[in-house]
Structure 1
């Protein structure tokens, strides 16, 4: 990989602050794209949110075409096929800004992500030429039809069938897909079906095909402005040239698209969470109780600070990962006919980071909108206030693109699979940790020490779990879930701290002060929770003297001097209240 860090390698090696990308590294072009995308959402989408929520006919298509005129739909599409072909930081910025747009983020995300990326990455030249220019302009709307009523997260158990016609000119598709975004207005569907009952394959299916129909709109808790319907196929004829990639290789298409989808959903969550904090901070400054703005009350300060801390961490994770993806793309030769497949393989290297971003960001968003409602008090429960919609809209994020439970299982199992192939130095890392603990040279004071402690806690518990269960460990999902949380938090803590240190070196202490405070507060507030989670894992793996010895090793990894996080949060809250929004 030309010296690039391997996915998940942050757990086993030191990362230098200068080696990560942060929002402070935005170029002038990045800042211009930010202004363009944010301005579009503010001026064209939020001003029409009531119409969107009421499902005004044709409005989503109108907005997609307006986004297309600004180049926002074609960021991942090559110029040869009508796109604007931006770097991964730019596409991340667009996804973040779209996060503020409520249900339209799902419409636009379906268009630019799962509804078109299968063609971008796995389509033939002819398929790209036929469909991508219209997708970039918004004249062609795409949708992604994977989920089935009985399959859910088990996508490969799909029942939709495809049978080659006797003359070999087309496939006959039969089956039903459920919860399909953009289905009411889609012009094409990326459909997954099994050829001859067992060859899981992907197809481009035109909506005008005879035998294709959609059900009624789903009555949803949130994202009411986006179209979500079932799609049925009754002897739908799909020309053989509309087979995507290779017969029986549809899972390669599906899983690679999901990696990017998870990452972009994290960026959506970031934009959405910033919006929620802005609403909460503004309301807290204006709302008076007992003669004073509630922003001055200690428990409100704590909420505002905690929201800002989580946003800072997810922002650090998202753009760090964007930097990894961009560096990967720059290292690859994607000029050939199979360039999209080469890019997909490159992105797959960071599948772990994509899942970590997805889980952390969607749950941080859930926390942020929930506390946003709480700060609004009774008004937060009223549909007259925007925070109520954000609360409802956010709930689906933990379900989309593979549930957070699925992603939690994927994180450690992917690590174990890569370790078995020799791509992940687990055993060497276990041995080094044992040597370190035996030497008695552990020192965990300071943020660097606590970030390393988070990694070591993960390695200690995984080593003990593997000793007990070996290859049977994937059957113990409760342990896998907690292992995933330890790995996610190690990445979260490190991303926040590296960003703060990079800012300190570049900007000086005065300019970097708030970033340092945000990172410190998060690290010290989190490390104790990781220790408790590790205790639960260890108690599930051993008892008696063995458990006591394991707990002693854990305690040795987590000896540190607590910091005054109450004071740190007050500093953060003061900055948020003063500006009425998220600032760093």
Structure 2
């Protein structure tokens, strides 16, 4: 099943990867990441939070020595050449210290992958081994003061010297993670002021300077500075890819970044759930533990159910990504085209997990503070830091207000290209059927002005996102056995109920905006009705009891 096709038909059970299917080698890499976090990173949380940049640089280099920076770099360029599934597992295990996790992601994904995908063999041979080993740390320069999510609105420019031997870059970049200790920057600039292109710039190049460290709400352990380019001269060979096609590198990096950030979010929410369960068991009010109160159980149960759906979707996506990346020869002249196709194929699904994961993480950490009460509002407990840090995820790699329309616009664009036939769905899932029908209705009603209907597009996008996560959870549940399957059934039933409840409001918004007649409104709304018999209170209490008994996420 190719990208976006999940909306049109039901996925086959054997086509979906689940985290229970990890190989022994992958689990070993996961344990390596977990051990590194617990032994080398978490003992230094106070220093990290006090913005000890030298320590962060030291930790990044140490991660490189363990293979955690070059895990997905091809072996020919000094890495381990592991798959996306294992890379996602590493991201999951590193997330509980989010400043380190972001520094790691900025290096391994958005700083390394553009070079890995679109660089020439000579450029990759020159720089990738250093990035893979941790000898050099990378950073990614895309955003500017006047262009954030509108990446192609960048004003930084690159001009070829008169003798054709080097490029001269002028401009500035914002929000550059790892700036203080990076040796290599992936910088996007417009050749002659209009051809969006990508360049590799080494630290120490004359004319390259940095702004002060940003004082941020969260991610306080990261180095975040402006990048200032004033007549920065680099070799002509440091152009990455073709002139005017830098957007390939930028968007492919962002797609993969969305996927990896939410793989990390899975790990962070597992820890959040565990911390909350332990506190709810220990803390007493009115001579009862917090965990014995229904409203606390509702929070724990909902988080468990939604987390199961997200985790299932993330690893399903990881398996699908591996299916299109497998077999690419990184040294071949055709590698950039192959990598571009692979990274673009599942861009819809990458956007889906980005929206679902980032907003679930926000909700989860906010509820974690609520469960902890006054203590949660202090730095004495880790939930305050988790709440501050995760807030970036709804902005980074494209604000969610941009990503939601991307989901539906990409579906429509692929339909025009003949890659998807939105008129011939065979899916049985009610969320899929309603989401697709509403999208068709919006196209019929608004036509060329559809892009201005962002509220309605966002509502349809949310239904489509929920459909993908629910199907992922349902298929994974079928693969599980014994007690794990019984718990997964409860998670899946609860997620479907909560998703359909939200979908009713989304559907009403779209139908009202389209001025749908009563018959059409009734025919669409009734699709969601059959599954509204679930006892949500009982489902949440069942999951909460399991979580409280083990004080951990029960399914992984």
Q: TM-score, normalised by structure 1?
A: 0.93
Superposed CA RMSD: 1.4
Aligned counterpart in structure 1 of residue 508 of structure 2, from 519, 535, 538: 535
- Pairs within 5 Å for 1:226-305: 226-305=222-301
Contact 1:96 1:269 in 2 (8 A): yes
CA apart distance, 1:471: 2.8
2:148: which partner in 1? Answer: 152
Residue deviations 1:481-532, cap 9 Å, x none?
Answer: 11111110110111111111121xxx24x44111111111111222122122
Contact 1:301 1:570 in 2 (8 A): yes
Contact 2:53 2:221 in 1 (8 A): no
CA apart distance, 1:57: 4.0
CA apart distance, 1:427: 2.1
Which stretches in structure 1 are left out of the alignment for 5+ residues?
A: 434-448
Residue deviations 1:158-186, cap 9 Å, x none?
Answer: 11111111111111111011111111111
Contact 1:334 1:342 in 2 (8 A): no
- TM-aligned CA distance change 1:208 to 1:272, over 3 Å: same
- Pairs within 5 Å for 1:356-435: 356-429=352-425
1:495: which partner in 2? Answer: 472
Which of the pair has the greater relative contact order for Cα pairs under 8 Å at 6+ separation?
Answer: 2
Q: Does 1:481 align with 2:451?
A: no
- TM-aligned CA distance change 1:463 to 1:484, over 3 Å: same
Which stretches in structure 2 are left out of the alignment for 5+ residues?
A: none
Q: Measure, in 1, the Cα distance between the counterparts of 2:509 and 2:326.
A: 42
- Pairs within 5 Å for 1:137-176: 137-176=133-172
Q: Measure, in 2, the Cα distance between the counterparts of 1:164 and 1:18.
A: 52
Secondary structure of 1:184 counterpart: helix
1:438: which partner in 2? Answer: none
- Pairs within 5 Å for 1:169-188: 169-188=165-184
- Pairs within 5 Å for 1:64-213: 64-213=60-209
1:59: which partner in 2? Answer: 55
Secondary structure of 2:52 counterpart: coil
Q: Does 1:518 align with 2:495?
A: no
Q: Measure, in 1, the Cα distance between the counterparts of 2:282 and 2:260.
A: 34
- TM-aligned CA distance change 1:199 to 1:336, over 3 Å: same
2:553: which partner in 1? Answer: 582
Secondary structure of 1:13 counterpart: coil
Contact 2:74 2:330 in 1 (8 A): no
CA apart distance, 1:336: 1.8
1:557: which partner in 2? Answer: 527
Q: Measure, in 2, the Cα distance between the counterparts of 1:93 and 1:512.
A: 21
Runs of 4+ off more than 4 Å: 331-335
Q: Measure, in 1, the Cα distance between the counterparts of 2:449 and 2:329.
A: 39
Contact 1:539 1:547 in 2 (8 A): no
Residue deviations 1:219-268, cap 9 Å, x none?
Answer: 00000000001110000101101000011111111111111111101111
Q: Does 1:41 align with 2:37?
A: yes
Count of residues in Structure 1 that have an aligned counterpart in Structure 2: 554
Secondary structure of 1:428 counterpart: coil
- TM-aligned CA distance change 1:76 to 1:302, over 3 Å: same
Moved more, 405-414 or 27-36: 27-36
Q: Measure, in 2, the Cα distance between the counterparts of 1:493 and 1:114.
A: 29
CA apart distance, 1:202: 0.4
1:547: which partner in 2? Answer: 517
Q: Measure, in 2, the Cα distance between the counterparts of 1:341 and 1:182.
A: 29
Q: Does 1:569 align with 2:540?
A: yes
Aligned counterpart in structure 2 of residue 8 of structure 1, from 4, 12, 22: 4
Q: Does 1:461 align with 2:431?
A: no
CA apart distance, 1:333: 5.4
Residue deviations 1:296-347, cap 9 Å, x none?
Answer: 1111111111111121111000000001011222265556233254123112
Q: Measure, in 2, the Cα distance between the counterparts of 1:367 and 1:17.
A: 30
Contact 2:8 2:424 in 1 (8 A): no
Contact 1:302 1:570 in 2 (8 A): yes
Q: Measure, in 2, the Cα distance between the counterparts of 1:350 and 1:511.
A: 29
Q: Measure, in 1, the Cα distance between the counterparts of 2:105 and 2:130.
A: 16
Contact 1:531 1:554 in 2 (8 A): no
Q: Measure, in 2, the Cα distance between the counterparts of 1:391 and 1:223.
A: 10
- Pairs within 5 Å for 1:324-363: 324-330=320-326, 332=328, 336-363=332-359
